[in-house]
Amino acid sequence: MDIKVIREVFHKQPFEPFVFRLADGRPFAVPHPDFVAVSTRRGLVN
Domain ranges for the chain, please list them.
Answer: 3-45
36, 45 Cβ separation under 8 angstroms = yes
Q: Would you state the pLDDT for residue 27?
A: 94
Which H or E element spans position 10? helix 3-11
44, 6 Cβ separation under 8 angstroms = yes
Whether omega before 31 lies within 30 degrees of 0, making that bond cis, reads no
For 4, the 3-state DSSP assignment is helix
Q: Would you state the pLDDT for residue 20?
A: 84
pLDDT digits (tens, 9 = 90+) for 2-44: 778 877 888 899 999 999 888 899 998 999 988 877 666 665 5
